[in-house]
Chain A
Amino acid sequence: MKLAKNILKCNRNLVLSQRSLATSQKTLAAQTITVREAITNAMDEEIGRDERVFLIGEEVAQYDGAYKMSKGLWKKYGDKRVVDTPITEMGFAGIAVGAAMVKVPIVFRGPNGAAMGVGAQHSQEYASWYSQCPGLKVVSPYSAEDCRGLLKAAIRDDDPVVFLENELVYGSQFPISEEALSPDFVLPIGKGKIEREGKNVTLVSHSKGVHLCLETAKELEQSGIDCEVINLRSLRPLDEDLIKNSVKKTHHLVTVELGWPQCSIGAEIISRICESDAFDYLDSAPLRVTGADVPLPYAKTLEQNSLPQVAN
């Protein structure tokens, strides 16, 4: 039955379905895709699935996306479903919101946070800004699987969703399971994931910060410190319970992010933990690792030192 449904979708799925006939899901060799592919394919599938869905933005059609995230979509779906706009953000964001009021599902997606040497005006991290607003849902995926599942969930959600990507991971390869490649694979908005289980300290992060935490965990392992790394996936709603349960286990908490310290995501997490019963389980004060409280400089060493590193 599943095979029959998949054959009706795009070619990619056909290939995968044949494979799943031959072997069971668990013993398959891990396939990898890049974050870019995950996002492009998720959009492709959702545009194909629901007539109401269209992609609108600067350079999304004939340029294949300012960061090539919508490659091939315009050729496949044409002008009606993939719409190039003039460089008038206020105008077309307003148009998108107007269409959303008439029950067109809306997702605001794009790169967030620092890239490499793009200077302060192009490096701002908006996680805190958006996650402050009641009525919005805000997600900040890390892996390709996160991107795929959360983007599909965001598009299918009736509420407005802000989908924060990170330019630097667009090209990164991630392993992805068969299940994650199925066309109806959605991840629940509001739930995080434990990327690495551990016993001694909880590291909580989102987006690229998760990578940093995993690298840190590897290094600390050698000193005998076992880190539990949590990938938040969603910033609003925040998966408070996941963090609380982890803290109850490890008794230590460090939040990690690339944004500025004042009113950071970490500040929110720590406040919530302190207000909850998990506070009693802490053996030391919770700490934050964030970007430096400065507009991001351009010069290479300055930039590197303005953003968190494993050493922090």
Chain B
Amino acid sequence: MRQIQVELESVIMNSYTKLLAILQPNTSRRILLQRRDAFHSNTVKSPINISGSSAVNTKQQSRFSSTDSSSKTLDYEAKNAYKLHLLEEGPKTNVSCNREEGLEFYKKMQVVRRMEASANNMYKSKLIRGFCHLYSGQEAVCVGMRAAMDKSDSLITAYRAHGWSYMMGVSVTGVLAELTGRKSGCAEGKGGSMHMYAPNFYGGNGIVGAQVPLGAGVAFAHKYRGEPNICVALYGDGAANQGQVFEAYNMAKLWALPCIFVCENNGYGMGTSAARASANPHFYTRCEYIPGIWVDGMDVLAVREATRFAKEWCVSGKGPMIMEMATYRYFGHSMSDPGTSYRTREEIQDVRKSRDPITSFREKVIQAGLASDEEFKTIDNEVKKIVEDAENHAQNDPELHVDEMYSHVYSNPPKNYMIRGCDSFTYKEATK
């Protein structure tokens, strides 16, 4: 019954969308838009409203198939995993993975979770200073998306970047030691939490929304050079109202840039819920000329499938695409925010119990007969060791020598160029 209802809703939504695409901007179009939005809000609950939500509840919808033991796969219909904007067809709803992939995704998500837990502890022990924005709860987004990207694709994100840094190639030591400011950090300790980089990974950016035009610029460079690569430019629900994001949308569409704009909607921009900040909180529909996909960001396989679809779209020259990943963060906005003054503890616990990306994926893999509980425990222990080892480095490795302050100011310093220190007697030569 529920299935029929969902299908009917999606048919009606698609009809609205098709009609809107034909109509010129005028009264009829406006009325239709209002009707569509009213229908949308009545039938489809907001992704962050977790009581009785129509967001993915794959336990009811999924069918686990296991063929014979040597070629078992996890295979199910992620029917509620996508919503489309300006698209006739979307990503495949039938998602699957084999044992190897399943275990790998689990392990990677678990590494991110443990790494962030370690960061949380080290921050509380004052080993990490300044800003620290934790990714816990959102792991399925970075793991799922990365699985659909090529090694030579680029990515840029905002400040909640530790999970992404790891997925883009920085080791756990590289992340944790960067947080504690040691020279084994990926930016030698010069960057800290919000400024980690790796090949094809452009950070790590502190200014809200500023990374979006930069991402479009990286996509521009790919296109300019004839490279078959995309740039994924991520931002949050808080940044989604920034003017520069729309400036980037406009140019990306005009020039058909191979850019996927991804809104990681975790429900809150700092302490302001999406509904309180955005007149239109359906971020995947925010651009009337770029197609968009809403994705259940807690389902790692759905995320991967949707990203595959978006990447193919961009690379085939059709221009940019917008994705909205409906996800959730367990910690507050940053370490200075307990995260409970603007939402209830019950809400947070509820998500942990019913929608956690890691435990729900593990259950699916076990139920499909791909791996046992013991194997997962072994992975958990491996992950524990990796993170503990990295923690060791983060706590004991030295910082850069003070003279290194004067390096990396210019990539091409003029000959004999001296950089001034804090007084007129201190000048050091600039080094690359």
Contact = CB atoms under 8 A, between A and B. Distances in A.
A98 interface: yes
Contact of A91 (B224, B247, B409, B410): B247
Contacts of A275: 424
A90 B244 contact: yes
Interface size class of A (residues with CB under 8 A): 20 to 34
A54 B224 contact: yes
B184 interface: no
Nearest to A90: B244
A94 B414 contact: no
Contacts of B409: 134-135
A83 B215 CA distance: 18
Which interface class (under 10, 10 to 19, 20 to 34, 35 or more) fits B?
20 to 34
Contacts, number: 93
A181 to B, nearest CB: 25
A134 B414 CA distance: 13
Contacts of B255: 83
Contacts of A159: 410-412
Contacts of A97: 213-214, 217
Given A90-B213, A95-B216, A190-B414, A102 B248 contact: no
| Most-contacted residue by chain A among B202, B212, B251 (CB, 10 A) | B251
Interface in B138-180: 154, 156
Interface string A156-185: 011100000000000000000000000000
Nearest to B411: A158
Contact of B410 (A80, A86, A104, A137): A137
A102 B214 contact: no
A94 B257 CA distance: 14
A305 interface: no
Given A94-B217, A96-B217, A135 B410 contact: yes
Contacts of A147: none
Interface in A82-117: 83, 85-86, 88, 90-102, 104
A210 B414 CA distance: 24
Contacts of B414: 188-190, 237
B244 to A, nearest CB: 5
B120 interface: no
A94 B202 contact: no
A102 B213 contact: no
Contacts of B214: 94-95, 97-98, 101
B397 to A, nearest CB: 26
Given A101-B217, A101-B218, A86 B250 contact: yes
Given A86-B254, A101-B202, A95 B248 contact: yes
7 contacts: A94-B210, A94-B213, A94-B248, A101-B214, A137-B410, A157-B412, A159-B411
Interface of A: 54, 80, 83, 85-86, 88, 90-102, 104, 134-135, 137, 157-159, 188-190, 237, 275
